[in-house]
Structure 1
Amino acid sequence: MTRAADSVGESVKTGLVGLRRRAVEAGKAGAEATVGAAQAAEKKLGERGLAPGQLGEALAGTAENARKEALNARKEAAKSTKGSRKKVARKAKKTRKELAKSGGAARREALERLEELRKPGRRAKKAAIRAAKAAGESKRKGRKEFKSAKKDFRAAVLDAKVAAKGEKKSRRWPWIIGLAAVAAGAAAVLRQKPEPPVAPAPPRAPEPAKTDAAKTAPPSVVSPPAGAAGTKGSPAGDAPAAPKPTPGKHAAGDAPKVPQNGSQPSNKPSSEKKN
């Protein structure tokens, strides 16, 4: 173990020594290189007739020259931009003046045309009819020609107005139609009356349950006439039977029946007759 540690320590020491030697050699080489560069610079300066002390002054002078050149370039650029802006402004001013002149001339021409064109009235109509009559044409034809001339005149007046205004006539029909549709919808909504709310149906009461006796009871029997009261088959719950009439006596309000053959009626009951 001790031998291994000693061998490692010796190798480290030798490595460090080698590194130191190399560092010293590198420093010497750098110094030699700087000396050589300085000598070369001095040679070049000597060739140009400059001393080593004048190097800083030369560098400062070159920097000042560069700054001056930059300032001059900026000033020239500013001047050129100002000149170009002025030129553009002058051109724009000229074009505006020309447009104003042309627009004024167009308006004047349109106004003159409107003054020249006057709305034809009754006198013009009469004159057209007279001219047609003098030419041997009918009055109807003269009126038609006058109407066509009137239409042409209206079209020319509209064109002149548009030219005088310098703007296109805006279309109003779409806006009017839209407003009319909105008004119609609002009127329809207002006319619709709200329907009254439907009341819920009341719950039905349960029907009373029928008794068994009512279910099994026979149908009701037709009551016999008053004279046949007390006959067989009458139900037990009917009214009391009328008393039987006594023989030989008729009930009140009943007249004795008279036979058709002229014989007297018999007052005997039917049972005695059978016997």
Structure 2
Amino acid sequence: MRVFNLFKIATKAIILNKTRTLLTMLGIIIGVASVITMLAIGEGSKESIRTTISAMGSNMITIKAGADTRGGVRQAASIMESLTLNDYKAIKKQATLLSYTTPMVNGGGQVINGSNNWPSTIYGVNPDYLKIKVVDLQSGSMFTDAEVKTASKVALIGQTVVDNVFPDGKDPVGQMIRFNNIPFKIIGVLEEKGENTFGQDQDDVVIAPYTTVQKRILAIDHLNQIMASAVSEEKAPNAVLQVTEILRTQHKLTATEEDDFHVRSTEAIESVAENFKVLDTDNSANLNLTELKGLLALLK
């Protein structure tokens, strides 16, 4: 009976205070809608990031030089030269949980074709690169191991490079271009992938044998990074541990010394993406976004 009386009083109050009731309803509706919209945007962003990561190759593992301390001074990872071809050979020979492995060196420069030119990045790799990155060819073919050994001046280019240095629509395969005045014969065009979630153009690339880029473009004998693909997505964490142990032995690091390299898998990025939030009142979203971009840089 008491509940009925309370309900009766509440109903009468609603009828007598129509404006206040309407405003209260609007507040509740807007509040609930805002929460639902925020969650939907967050889930959409995470799904977009997962799609970007999957496009990189779900089993991909990257190894980069890490920061080091020399003479009491902490050195930046970007200037370290701790990865060598011997490291790559050791990983390729000893790592049983990897299916494909490639050295990588890269540098920026100008792609030139006659009066047309375009600033781009050249990546020096071996034939396993396309399998690791899950990239197909639109036309032409990948260079061979023999061309890697002889440091042949052959290259594959992305669609952005094609559009800017071959604006007349001419088939690039078989044509000659120059990268920083070094001539390259185009033997293939990469399948178009477009921009990723962070606006990075995945088609603005030139791919060549790592030996060619090392000797003729960069004049270095170390590696910028090593890329690999685990035998399966489930084995990726164990593959990271295996590679870490191989490199620690290769670099003769003691139990108390820090790694002078970084080993990351796409699983690490996915774990950050799971916690990523577009809207967050305590600014934790900014921290997650910074961490995510840092991990994406390692996989680039």
The structure in which a higher percent of residues are strand is 2
Bigger fraction of residues in helix: 1
Q: TM-score, normalised by structure 2?
A: 0.20
> TM-score, normalised on structure 1?
0.22
Higher RCO, 1 vs 2 (CA within 8 Å, ≥6 residues apart): 2
